[in-house]
Amino acid sequence: MRRLVLLVFLFTPLFGFAQEYLTKTGSVVFLSKAPLNEFEGKSKALNGLIDLEKNLLDFYIDLNTLDTGIGLRDKHMRENYLETDKYPFAEFTGKMEPIPALETGKSYPVKAKGKFKIHGVEREITVQGTLTQKNDKSLDLQSEFVILLDDYKIEIPKLVFYELASEQKITINATLSPKK
């Protein structure tokens, strides 16, 4: 009987559920709604990790992958506002409160508190979202949050004030697969 208990204890991690989930193809959309102009920037290059055991979330995106649909606007956004030559990434690192006990096919509202860093500035934020465990044990994550460009020292020139909103709505959608 002791051997059976020992064998079960030793091999349980091999048969247990994954605690780490990864993506390299999540999507990020930012929406800028200024008085005279509304546009989106999109990327399908969001990298992310959810580690349920350590209660760690870490997501980042190369800002050079953002595409607004207009090449010249993308160039100006990268060079003049985001300064991607100095600050190429935006990153969120945080923890969920509370950690959901996942069940296949169910969605859970989640809240993450952590640090969002862009343009060399890091700030504490809280992000609301939904986490769903799919039948193949992957996780779907959807989230929306708002950032103010002033909070991250991203300047908006006076001439562009009516074309670029100081408030940016960020939407994240990602499917994370169990780490193998």
Structural domain spans, the chain: 18-178
Output the CA torsion 138→143→173→153 (10° steps).
Answer: -130
Round to whole Å and give the CA distance between 53 and 177.
15
pTM of the model: 0.85
Residue 158, pLDDT score? 65
In angstroms, how far is CA 59 from the centroid of its own chain?
Answer: 5
Mean pLDDT by 10 residues, the chain (180 residues): 40 52 97 89 97 95 97 92 96 92 91 97 97 93 96 81 82 95
Other C-beta atoms within 10 Å of 125: how many? 16
Residue 1, pLDDT score? 44
Q: By three-state DSSP, how is residue 168 classified?
A: strand
Residue 131, pLDDT score? 95
Residue 6, pLDDT score? 36
CATH topology of domain 18-178: Lipocalin (2.40.128)
Residue 155, pLDDT score? 87
Round to whole Å and give the CA distance between 169 and 33.
9
Round to whole Å and give the CA distance between 110 and 114.
13
